[in-house]
């Protein structure tokens, strides 16, 4: 996909509307961050069952894809829009942020956070490190939780499962490079909570506790060691499969 130059200019010039700043600072917002197939979607799905959370449905210009053999649904997984609609949202300042990821545009609408705020729920979604940084620049109360697979081999197994056994090599290499960059960026920031997703039930309990402010894992040396090892393994894979 080639994003038009006019739309690229809108994205580069876009700033967070003032009404969105006030909303973010008065809302409880938790983001699950992490490399592809770290288990973010599964954890979010389980947390939503508690009734304490509101899922932030992002807008994107990419097409729906299969996730564990199930096709994504408009309005549930994402608001799938074309470039013209994305440009309209930017012009009307209906988005908090918007950016290009893997040659597609993703954005978070103000209305999604407003709905969570009005219901006194924790707004939760999956974002990349760039999205987390943008929200943290607005308010230090925004809580990013970086999820990690326990090891490189386990991560590879999850990737294959996620894409139904049909992993495009070019896409895989792109995601490898992105994962390495995200890991490095997260390790350099002091606001990320790190959680290793080994046992799903325990992971859900840990994330829920962090989201409610009853637990912090920022000084989790084991998780940081896992992140550093993943970076090294990804780099070795990319070198061996260049």
pLDDT 10s per residue in the chain (242 long)? 579 899 999 999 999 999 999 999 999 999 999 988 899 989 999 999 999 999 999 999 999 998 768 899 999 999 999 999 999 999 999 999 998 887 899 999 999 999 999 999 999 999 889 889 989 999 999 999 999 999 999 998 888 777 666 667 777 788 888 899 999 999 999 899 999 999 999 999 999 999 998 887 666 788 889 999 999 999 998 888 76
Alpha carbons 221 and 227: distance in angstroms, whole number = 10
For 82, counting Cβ atoms within 10 Å of its Cβ (0-12 exposed, 13-18 middle, 19+ buried), the class is exposed
- Cβ-contact 186, 192 below 8 angstroms: yes
CA-based angle 27:111:47, to the nearest 5?
60
- Number of Cβ within 10 Å of residue 31's Cβ equals 25
Closest CA to 78 of 101, 106, 50, 102: 106
Alpha carbons 195 and 226: distance in angstroms, whole number = 10
- Cβ-contact 31, 122 below 8 angstroms: no
Phi/psi at 237 (nearest 5 deg)? -65, -45
- What pLDDT score does 76 carry? 93
- Cβ-contact 151, 200 below 8 angstroms: no
- What pLDDT score does 165 carry? 63
- What pLDDT score does 109 carry? 96
Kindly list the distances between the CA atom of residue 149 and the CA atoms of 77, 110, 156, 205, in Å, as whole numbers in the listed order: 22, 31, 10, 16
The tokens describing 190, both together, are 């002091």
Q: What is the pTM of this model?
A: 0.87
């Amino acid at each position: 996909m080639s994003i038009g130059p006019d739309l690229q200019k809108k994205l580069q010039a876009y700033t967070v509307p003032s009404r969105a700043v006030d909303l973010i600072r008065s809302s409880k917002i938790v983001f699950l961050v992490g490399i592809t197939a770290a288990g973010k979607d599964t954890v979010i799905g389980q947390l939503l069952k508690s009734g304490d959370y509101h899922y932030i449905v992002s807008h994107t210009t990419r097409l729906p894809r299969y996730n564990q053999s199930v096709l994504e649904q408009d309005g549930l997984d994402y608001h799938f829009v074309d470039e013209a609609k994305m440009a309209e949202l930017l012009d009307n300042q209906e988005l908090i942020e918007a950016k290009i990821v893997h040659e597609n545009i993703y954005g978070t609408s103000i209305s999604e956070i407003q709905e969570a705020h009005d219901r006194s729920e924790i707004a939760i979604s999956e974002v990349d490190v760039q999205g987390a940084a943008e929200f943290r620049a607005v308010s230090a109360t925004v809580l990013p939780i970086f999820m990690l697979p326990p090891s490189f081999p386990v991560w590879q197994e999850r990737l294959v499962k996620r894409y139904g056994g049909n992993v495009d090599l070019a896409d895989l290499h792109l995601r490898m490079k992105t994962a390495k960059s995200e890991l490095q960026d997260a390790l350099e920031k002091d606001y990320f909570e790190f959680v290793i997703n080994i046992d799903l039930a325990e992971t859900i309990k840990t994330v829920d506790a962090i989201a409610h402010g009853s637990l912090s894992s920022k000084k989790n040396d084991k998780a940081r060691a896992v992140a550093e090892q993943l970076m090294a393994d990804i780099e070795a894979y990319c070198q061996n499969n260049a």
